[in-house]
């Protein structure tokens, strides 16, 4: 009772706001629940049941879930992208644990990505070959984001070091690259990869569409990550550099053994935030015609029998993306709360 008084009715404006919110909730929630749950159609072999009902047509999602999750990957091989997705998610969870932040982590990633490559492409006994034009759905979103970040990260460290270098040509090249990419929308970088890049390759050479999009995402992410890494580098006090110099360490030794291990640990929370943005941004590959998670949902809606259920379809898409992004954002909050001392501590 005292909680209610303090938090909902502390003053006249507050009490009015509480009443207004309750009134709005009473007006909107019952019809919404009717639509979303009570009168919704959950399973239906054909869309007529949906068209007759007044509620949401979740049957669209249950009917199309295989295509939404796996795209045009051969139907009887769907366990492969499913297993690959689970492996990728496991890799992410493993990397989020503080005790796995060491030199072994890149090796674990290398092994994991190689295993996923074998699983997805196949071509070994027992696994028929599947060309990457047929990859689609959730695994494509996860792969674009994972490979994108895994390859952009080393590049971004080089760019950040270059931007802080004392050599003017190197610094100008890195600043120019970072500011150019950050100044233009991602879609123009994707256009560059999808329509411009083929023109820049020697006659006869070609890179397929998926790899071109992946390349664009790597180049794009590297510029944003470089700024985060630069922030971490700036947080390292001068005396650390001076101590390294006094010990007679070379530039490479100073960076690899003293500065980077601390700078990267300090920038993990902003790195996760950048990654959330990047994960969301992978949905833009739809515009250049790749079959990511959002794209398979959009294509499912083009089936004339099931057209007109866009609201349900995009709510389902929102929920899927939300689960991934909210988990990562909760993780970055715990890191921020842990504070720099805990992040720097060796485990």
Partner 1 sequence: MKARGLALQAALAAALALLAWWLYSNAAANLAARGISSGFAFLWREAGFEIGETTFAAYSAADTYLRALAIGLANTFRVAAIGVVLATLLGSLVGLARLAPNWLLARIAAAYVETVRNIPLLVQLFFWYAVITDSLPPPAEALEPLPGVFLTNRGIFFPLPGDVPQLSGFNFSGGAALTPEFAALLIGLTTYTAGFIAEIVRAGILSVPRGQVEAARSLGLGRRAELRHVLLPQALRLMVPPMTSQYLNLTKNSSLAVAIGYPDLVSIANTAMNQTGQAIEGVAVIMAVFLTISLSISAFMNWYNRRSALRGLAA
What is the contact surface with partner 1 in residues (CB under 8 A)? 7-8, 10-11, 14, 17-18, 21, 166-170, 173, 179-180, 182-188, 191-192, 195-196, 198-203, 276, 280-281, 283-284, 286-287, 294, 298, 308-311, 313-315, 317-318, 321-322, 325-326, 329
Do 325 and 276 form a contact (C-beta atoms < 8 A)?
yes
Answer whether 136's CB lies under 8 Å from 82's CB: no
Cβ closer to partner 1: 105 or 180?
A: 180
Shortest distance (Å) from residue 267 CB to partner 1: 18
* C-alpha closest to that of 136 among 19, 5, 296: 296
C-beta closer to partner 1: residue 15 or 110:
15
Q: CA distances (Å), 314 to each of 105, 276, 308, 310, in order?
A: 36, 19, 11, 6
Q: Give the C-alpha distances (Å, rounded to integers) separating 53 from 31, 61, 77.
A: 14, 16, 35
- C-beta closer to partner 1: residue 258 or 313: 313
Smallest gap from Cβ 186 to partner 1, in A, equals 8
Q: 123 or 185: whose CB is closer to partner 1?
A: 185
- Report, in Å, the least distance between residue 191 CB and partner 1: 5
- Please state the closest distance from residue 77 (CB atom) to partner 1, in A: 28
Provide, rounded to whole angstroms, the least separation between the CB of residue 134 and partner 1: 23
Q: Residue holding tokens 């297993």?
A: 83
* Residues in a beta bridge with 137: 292
Please, which residues have CB within 8 angstroms of residue 287's CB and are 6 or more apart in sequence?
187, 190
Please state, in angstroms and rounded to a whole number, the distance separating the CA atoms of residues 296 and 282: 14
Nearer to partner 1, 120 or 190 (CB): 190
Q: For residues 129 and 200, which CB has a smaller minimum distance to partner 1 in the complex?
A: 200
């Amino acid at each position: 009772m005292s909680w209610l008084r303090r938090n909902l009715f502390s003053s006249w404006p507050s009490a009015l706001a509480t009443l207004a919110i309750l009134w709005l909730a009473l007006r909107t929630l019952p019809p919404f629940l009717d639509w979303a749950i009570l009168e919704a159609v959950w399973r239906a072999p054909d869309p007529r049941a949906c068209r007759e009902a007044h509620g949401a047509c979740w049957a669209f999602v249950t009917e199309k879930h295989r295509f939404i999750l796996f795209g045009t990957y051969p139907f009887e091989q769907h366990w492969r992208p499913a297993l690959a997705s689970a492996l990728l998610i496991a890799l992410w969870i493993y990397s989020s644990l503080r005790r796995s932040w060491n030199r072994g982590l890149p090796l674990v990633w290398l092994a994991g990505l190689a295993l996923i490559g074998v699983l997805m492409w196949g071509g070994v006994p027992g696994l028929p070959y599947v060309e990457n034009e047929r990859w689609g759905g959730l695994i494509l979103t996860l792969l674009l984001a994972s490979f994108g970040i895994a390859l952009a990260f080393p590049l971004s460290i080089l760019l950040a070091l270059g931007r802080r270098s004392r050599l003017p040509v190197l610094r100008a090249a890195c600043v120019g690259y970072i500011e150019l990419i950050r100044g233009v929308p991602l879609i123009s970088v994707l256009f560059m990869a999808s329509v411009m890049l083929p023109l820049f390759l020697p006659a006869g050479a070609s890179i397929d569409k998926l790899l071109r999009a992946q390349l664009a995402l790597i180049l794009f992410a590297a510029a944003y990550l470089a700024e985060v890494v630069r922030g971490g580098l700036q947080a390292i006090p001068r005396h650390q550099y001076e101590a390294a110099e006094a010990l007679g360490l070379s530039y490479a030794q100073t960076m690899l053994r003293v500065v980077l291990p601390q700078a990267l640990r300090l920038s993990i929370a902003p790195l996760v935030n950048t990654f959330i943005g990047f994960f969301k941004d992978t949905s833009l590959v739809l515009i250049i015609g790749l079959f990511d998670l959002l794209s398979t949902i959009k294509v499912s809606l083009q089936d004339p029998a099931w057209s007109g259920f866009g609201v349900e379809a995009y709510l389902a898409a929102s929920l899927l993306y939300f689960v991934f992004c909210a988990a990562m954002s909760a993780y970055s909050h715990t890191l921020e709360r842990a504070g720099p001392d805990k992040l720097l501590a060796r485990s």
